[in-house]
Structure 1
Amino acid sequence: MERVSMKNFFRRFLPEKKHFTGVDIGIDQIKVAELEVVDGTPEVTALRMRPSPPGVWSDSFDEEGLVQVLKEVLNPDCREVITCIGSEKTVCRIVRFPRMSEKELWSAVKLEVQKYVPTPAGQLVIRYVRLDRAGEGDGGKRTGKPAEAGVGQRLQDVLLLAVPLATVYQYHGIFSRTGFTVAALDLQAFALWRIFGRNTPGNTAMVDIGAKTSHFVLLRDGQIRFLRLLPAGSENLAEITKELRRSLDYYSTHEKISVEKIILSGGISNPGDLIENLNGNLRIDTEVGVPDVDFTGDELYDPAYAVSVGLALREVAGSGRV
């Protein structure tokens, strides 16, 4: 007799979710992407953008102002959203550990996080993702045997994530006041990987340009190997080249690997000029990324929506939930 898991059992009776909303709240703009799964294929059905309230995510900003903008930009027919916590609020590090069991790794992760965050572990939401294997990190909630290492493999790269519990409550509370539920909190880096990086061969850098900061994510054969928040954005594009060179040189020195391609997204008003600048100064092929997702109706892809589209794809089967 065929054995059926409880999850698969209930899936036979519950309707499969087909509508997903990704919300990227930046300090300059709020970007929303709505996605629908049609015959198993994800299609972007709506893209909307509104200016963010002044000082959003600063220590003292007008939460009520953000609630009102979200009410304007979100679709009341889709009451669940997937959003991301800004990197300014998140501790995100890639650390190399010896291979060990999940239980041992979870203990090691909590100790390692305390090196970067003075906040007690009990006041943090801590997660980790193994970067050297497919699938989702289980966040230390399971125990098991140590992962078997391949020939010559004695270490593993692990992405550590830590967010103040108060920040998580704040995000959920703001969306709750708009009448929406946060189905998942994600990272910008994972959203970018989902739409540009999963099947990218070789050594590729993804750069998502914000108003004041930019996200730099380096991939090796489709796996995240390095990430950094660059202190330069669309308000000072002249600094992008310098910060990129610094990050590329650091990675090349430590990993002895050179980047072959740069994929751009985010707020790029003059992509041609930026591409020409990066090609000339870094000698690396550079292009504006285009996600492999269908856009229906009058919707046309804009690089500013890269993160919100990647967020909406998080819960779509086969789209690479991290």
Structure 2
Amino acid sequence: MQVFHGIGVGGRQYKKAARGIKFPSIKGSLSKELLRKLAPKKTQYAAVDIGSREIKVVEVSTADGYPEVIASGRLTTPAGVLGEPEGDEDLVNALNEVVLYSGIQSKEVIATISGDRVITRHIKVPVMPAKELETAIKYEAEKFIPIPVDDLNIRYLNLGEMESDGERYLHLLLAAVPSSFVYDYYEIFIRAGLVVAAIDVQSLCLWRVFCGLDTSAARAGTAGILDIGAAATQFLVVSDRGLQLSRTLPVGGNLLTQSLAENYGLEFQEAQQLKEEQGELLSVEAAASAAAGAMQMDYSLRVGLSNLIREIRRSLDYYASLKDATTIDRFIISGGTSKLKGFREFFAEAMEVPVDFGHPGIPGLTGGGAAEPLPFDPAFAVAVGAALREIVEDV
């Protein structure tokens, strides 16, 4: 087992994944600290988010003292799933293409792993020295992960101390990924001419982009954050900027597409195009005078959304059962599905709290697709959060 503060592969195992590439060593009296001081200060950071539907790439610059998106691009993810050998070459070609036309300059990138491939758990362990945590984490991981821990890369994040029944505990967020998958990831990026500096977890990317900077989600109180992708949804609860809960829900925008396909008698891709071009959820007022076609669209979308809302309510019930849970007073939404016309209003009505689009306050990445232009494209939330990894200090 390897325990890192950033998922990756190290030593001989990395050389196996990056076979054919040699790394220079530092010799003599030149220390790493001196090398850091002598090296030019890095001001540009690139990230790649490979989603089930789209690949998103961004490059963020801090040259003027505050993050700004200076390059971005998106491309449909090839049909071959990452980890399936027959799809690797298509993915390599897609990475080459999106990097080329997006205009990002950095060849060193932060990559993300989709939530359905990462096992995450919140655990508590007695307060102990950091050097003893590895043994404790291995023991805890063996309890809930159905894969031998020696075959996993495990990342943990210390979310702080908590008290339970008079005892002090460490609140840890564990993220585990099969090592074989990590090696495949590195190999694919290398073949695309990119160097993976780190592999990041989507939930932490979302925390950074919406809570790591001075944003609406970072203010006092408790916020629910939802990033609704095509196949999965990331659900976070943040209280006074502290990460309280992180879950991956196995539902997303594909539910809506499938519902449209069934109700309109379309193939999946045709239904996806229909959703993007004509999809709209109606308000009560609009529904009263809507045409039959608009009502059919509204009904079909709501059928698909019913399962998503059900999963969200289950997570809310679980959070409410926790000892230190506080009332969620607002929701921040992101992800491609959040741009569906009428979704924000629909979700606010369902949750009975204010709902707004997430906006990190970073210029350079506007987005459309909602009822009106957005100051930040919510589909890029995870990618931008990954690019902020070296800029924003985690939780």
Q: TM class, shorter-chain normalised?
A: 0.7 to 0.9
Please show how residues 199-278 of structure 1 align to structure 2 within 5 Å.
199-236=218-255, 237-255=305-323, 256-268=325-337, 270-278=339-347
- Give the corresponding residue for 1:81: 109
The whole-number CA distance in structure 2 between the counterparts of 1:303 and 1:247 is: 22
Q: Is the 8 A contact 2:80 2:88 kept in 1?
A: no
- Give the corresponding residue for 1:307: 382
- Give the corresponding residue for 1:191: 205
The whole-number CA distance in structure 1 between the counterparts of 2:104 and 2:246 is: 35
Alignment TM-score, normalising by the size of structure 1 = 0.86
Q: Is the 8 A contact 1:132 1:223 kept in 2?
A: no
The whole-number CA distance in structure 1 between the counterparts of 2:365 and 2:125 is: 45
Q: Is the 8 A contact 1:91 1:116 kept in 2?
A: no
Residues 280 and 321 of structure 1, relative CA distance in 2, 3 Å threshold: closer
Per-residue deviation at 1:88? 2.0
Q: 2:350 aligns with which of 281, 285, 298?
A: 281
Q: Is the 8 A contact 2:46 2:57 kept in 1?
A: yes
- Give the corresponding residue for 1:112: 140
244-253 or 116-125, which moves further after superposition?
Answer: 116-125
- Give the corresponding residue for 1:32: 57
Q: Is the 8 A contact 1:208 1:215 kept in 2?
A: yes
Please show how residues 30-179 of structure 1 align to structure 2 within 5 Å.
30-57=55-82, 59=84, 61-74=86-99, 75=103, 77-132=105-160, 154-179=168-193
Tell me the alpha carbon deviations over residues 169-193 of structure 1, each in whole angstroms, 9 at most, x when there is no partner.
1110000001110011101111100
| Higher strand fraction (1 or 2) | 1
> Structure 2 counterpart of 1:247, which letter?
S
- Give the corresponding residue for 2:14: none
Per-residue deviation at 1:309? 0.6
The whole-number CA distance in structure 2 between the counterparts of 1:297 and 1:286 is: 19
Q: Is the 8 A contact 2:80 2:91 kept in 1?
A: no
> Structure 1 counterpart of 2:310, which letter?
K
Per-residue deviation at 1:104? 2.4
Tell me the alpha carbon deviations over residues 96-154 of structure 1, each in whole angstroms, 9 at most, x when there is no partner.
11111222222110111112223332221122111117xxxxxxxxxxxxxx989x661
What RMSD in Å do the two structures reach over aligned CA positions?
2.6
The whole-number CA distance in structure 1 between the counterparts of 2:246 and 2:51 is: 19
Query: Equivalent residue of 1:78, what SS?
Result: coil
- Give the corresponding residue for 1:320: 393
The whole-number CA distance in structure 1 between the counterparts of 2:71 and 2:311 is: 34
Residues 200 and 190 of structure 1, relative CA distance in 2, 3 Å threshold: farther
Per-residue deviation at 1:231? 2.1
Q: Is the 8 A contact 2:80 2:90 kept in 1?
A: no
Per-residue deviation at 1:205? 1.0
Identity %: 37
- Give the corresponding residue for 1:293: 362
Q: Which runs of 5+ in 1 are unaligned?
A: 134-147
> Structure 1 counterpart of 2:355, which letter?
T
Alignment TM-score, normalising by the size of structure 2 = 0.71
Per-residue deviation at 1:269? 5.9
The whole-number CA distance in structure 1 between the counterparts of 2:169 and 2:334 is: 32
- Give the corresponding residue for 2:19: none
38-47 or 307-316, which moves further after superposition?
Answer: 38-47
The whole-number CA distance in structure 2 between the counterparts of 1:97 and 1:67 is: 41
The whole-number CA distance in structure 1 between the counterparts of 2:347 and 2:86 is: 36
Tell me the alpha carbon deviations over residues 247-298 of structure 1, each in whole angstroms, 9 at most, x when there is no partner.
1111112234221111000013645522222221211211110112122899
Aligned length: 302
Per-residue deviation at 1:55? 3.9
Query: Equivalent residue of 1:38, what SS?
Result: coil
Query: Equivalent residue of 2:381, what SS?
Result: helix
Residue 13 (1) aligns with residue 13 (2): no
Q: Which runs of 5+ in 2 are unaligned?
A: 1-29, 213-217, 256-304, 368-373
Residues 269 and 80 of structure 1, relative CA distance in 2, 3 Å threshold: same
Q: Is the 8 A contact 1:315 1:321 kept in 2?
A: no
> Structure 2 counterpart of 1:228, which letter?
R
The whole-number CA distance in structure 2 between the counterparts of 1:114 and 1:79 is: 37
The whole-number CA distance in structure 1 between the counterparts of 2:232 and 2:50 is: 13
